[in-house]
A and B are shown apart, each in its own frame.
Chain A
Amino acid sequence: MAGRIFLKGNEAIAHGALAAGCKCFFGYPITPQNDIPEFMSSAICKAGGQFVQAESEVAAANMLLGAAAAGVRAMTSSSSPGMSLKQEAISYMAGSDLPGVIVNINRGGPGLGDIGPSQGDYFQSVKGGGHGDYRTLVLAPATCQEAYDLTRLAFDLAYTYRNPVLILGDAILGQMKEPVTPAKPRKENPKEAQDWCLTGAKGRPTRLLKSLFLDDGALAGQNLRLKAKYEKMKAEIRYEAFACDDAELVVVAFGTIGRIAKSAVRALRAKGRKVGLFRPITLFPFPSAALAALAAKGKRFLTIEHNLGQMVEDVRLAVLPAADSDFFSVLPGNMPIPDDFEKPILASLKGAAKKTGAPGKATKKAAKPTPAKAAAATKKTPAAAKIRGKAAPTAKKPAAKGKKG
């Protein structure tokens, strides 16, 4: 096994892609992801693959669609404004069940925004992003090692589910340098995609990959097939739960913000504060069941994001009505440090103690406003917990995958 290598997050993604057997890379320059196409322009060719600097992000993403149709592992990367342009192809890929990996090194927006870190593309990433009713798998690395590992995983997931997979990083991750332990390069699986990809109709009926469904009921059928696929993807839910067991307040944050929040949580733990960190690694599917389970235990939540509040909506959907989530915003253009988070965490912790008193009573208190609602809530809560409990087995596996501490 090779020793550790010192890589930027962007480079780690590119290395991860090569280790995963990526054979085609389609790029277009945009800050802060340029290290990826720059590295790939020579590295993928040395690995026997193809590099194309496309005429636009629109074209790059459509080249990805083409390589995917041919059943070959391929990737494209960009940053926020470029991601908007890639959405056309991503929608077509989702509609045509085509696998591919798309990297977004998130920068500030809207519009041209800035070139600094931001998590402003959360909604775009997890709610489809382009037109139509679809989802992409979204992986959010927090370290260079994770960027490397999750990129490898992204290719496997893309081909397992025949779906586009997004890597959502940010300018912090893309530009920071850390040691990365490389994995053994993947052994090519000659059977991958062979039952559906386009190779020319030799000795078999023709194949057609499309997203147009005009016949009566055909599109509804495709929509339902996609929905079933998204349900299956829940088996891939991954998250990191750090010091959550006895925490009164759980900080929820993803990507590099999750990592910075972890430092803050660690510092507060050292001071005896009962706080924990929950860091979703798959943003879609979202680890709702695991959050709901924490809510059922009476924990309070504080969501921290590098935007004006996007993931917090999914956190609330997961923890309501047993609990709610406070929100702390880091604005694009600002580089947060762990100290910045201590104050808002302590404020939420204090609020948690005041509002809920002892853990376990949160449900009743939160549901108090009207007697009718309270009655409904007491009825609903156990039921809701049960429904989510059902999902727990799927969350179990990832929990084991999730790093503790």
Chain B
Amino acid sequence: MSEKIVFQKPESVYDRATHYCPGCHHGTIHRLVGEILDEMKLREKTILVSSIGCSVFLYNYLEVDAVEAPHGRAPAVATGVKRARMDKFVFTYQGDGDLASIGMAEIMHAANRGERISVVFVNNTVYGMTGGQMAPTTMEGQKTTTCPSGRCPESHGLPIRMAEIIASLGGVAFCARTAVDTVKNLNQTKKAIRRAFEVQTAGTGFGFVEVLSTCPTNWRMTPLKANERIAAEMIPYFPLGVFKDADAEVCA
């Protein structure tokens, strides 16, 4: 009897403990990105643009060249990197406070210009690193430190559905929303991120994946309860699926 390894840490991911809280999905999504970089053999031509929030330290976990962008500006910085080095693979990894609030202008216009960059958008409905404040994606009624009685649509508006908005823009070649709460969803996420990377390497256009994710600490939940919340509360409001795949159509 001999045995072979069927699952282990991808090469692009450093063998290092993360600073994330127990049950946080960032680690899972990092690993998926690492696996895809390995499988597509992109690691050595990748330039990561990191954002602000818990995910700023992605550069400590992925073995790639990286530059730190100011809060929300990763798509603009990535535009600069890509325009300067069109032959490189450039992607951003942003949270919902970063991308859907302070960085709304940058993400919309980078997508609309059809920048040949890929964006991994991690939506956990809360500002994580700063301590659990209300985000543009915070669910109706969800309690945070800045909406202690729960998000109230009358004064805060409704949570923003980014994937649907991004899919409506001309320069976007691929746009999807996925989750990593179950193995089935996780496999879909991997497929989607791979497509979002492929549309860049093929030069088709802008690639975007919104990944629904947990923040057990700021949700005041156990990791298991938080994981259950994805299916129970988030997916009904943030439906999963591919919103655009411009393979067949002409992409601006």
Interface residues, chain A, with chain B CB atoms under 8 Å away: 23-24, 26, 50, 52, 54-56, 58-60, 62-72, 74, 88-89, 92, 96, 198-203, 206-212
A199 adjacent to B65 (CB under 8 Å): yes
Nearest Cβ distance between residue A121 and chain B, in whole angstroms? Answer: 21
CB interface residues, B 19-64, toward A, < 8 Å: 43-47, 49, 56, 59, 63-64
Flag whether B106 is at the interface (Cβ < 8 A): yes
Q: Which residue on chain B has the smallest CB distance to residue A49? A: B83
CB interface residues, B 49-104, toward A, < 8 Å: 49, 56, 59, 63-70, 73, 76-85, 88-89
A199 adjacent to B81 (CB under 8 Å): no
Flag whether B105 is at the interface (Cβ < 8 A): yes
Q: Provide the bound-state CA to CA distance between A19 and B105, in Å.
A: 33
| Contact A63:B68 (CB < 8 A) given known A50-B83, A54-B109, A212-B56 | no
Q: Which residue on chain B has the smallest CB distance to residue A76? A: B80
Chain B residues near A52: list those with CB within 8 A: 79, 83, 113
Q: Provide the bound-state CA to CA distance between A77 and B76, in Å.
A: 16
B83 adjacent to A24 (CB under 8 Å): yes
Interface residues, chain B, with chain A CB atoms under 8 Å away: 43-47, 49, 56, 59, 63-70, 73, 76-85, 88-89, 105-106, 108-109, 113
Q: Provide the bound-state CA to CA distance between A212 and B69, in Å.
A: 10
| Contact A198:B83 (CB < 8 A) given known A59-B106, A66-B49, A66-B78 | no
Chain A residues near B78: list those with CB within 8 A: 66
A200 adjacent to B76 (CB under 8 Å): no
B85 adjacent to A199 (CB under 8 Å): yes
10 additional contacts (CB under 8 A) given A63-B79, A68-B80, A212-B56: A55-B109, A65-B67, A67-B83, A69-B81, A88-B70, A200-B45, A201-B43, A208-B59, A209-B67, A210-B68
A200 adjacent to B80 (CB under 8 Å): no
Contact with B65, one of A64, A74, A207 (Cβ below 8 angstroms): A207
Nearest Cβ distance between residue A193 and chain B, in whole angstroms? Answer: 10
Chain B residues near A65: list those with CB within 8 A: 67, 69-70, 73, 77, 80
B68 adjacent to A199 (CB under 8 Å): no
B63 adjacent to A55 (CB under 8 Å): no
| Contact A70:B73 (CB < 8 A) given known A96-B67, A200-B89, A211-B68 | no
Chain B residues near A202: list those with CB within 8 A: 44-45
Q: Provide the bound-state CA to CA distance between A206 and B46, in Å.
A: 10
| Contact A66:B65 (CB < 8 A) given known A72-B85, A92-B70 | no
Q: Provide the bound-state CA to CA distance between A209 and B76, in Å.
A: 16
A55 adjacent to B105 (CB under 8 Å): yes
Chain B residues near A208: list those with CB within 8 A: 59, 65-68
3 closest residue pairs by CB, A with B: A66-B80, A63-B80, A72-B84
| Contact A67:B84 (CB < 8 A) given known A62-B69, A88-B70, A96-B67 | yes
Chain B residues near A89: list those with CB within 8 A: 70, 73
| Contact A199:B88 (CB < 8 A) given known A89-B70, A96-B68 | yes
Chain A residues near B109: list those with CB within 8 A: 54-55, 59
B76 adjacent to A54 (CB under 8 Å): yes
| Contact A74:B80 (CB < 8 A) given known A58-B73, A59-B73, A212-B56 | yes
Nearest Cβ distance between residue B245 and chain A, in whole angstroms? Answer: 25
| Contact A66:B56 (CB < 8 A) given known A52-B83, A96-B67 | no
Chain A residues near B56: list those with CB within 8 A: 212
B80 adjacent to A67 (CB under 8 Å): yes
Supply 9 A–B pairs (Cβ within 8 Å), ascending by A. Answer: A65-B73, A65-B80, A70-B80, A92-B68, A96-B68, A198-B67, A198-B88, A201-B65, A208-B66
B76 adjacent to A66 (CB under 8 Å): yes
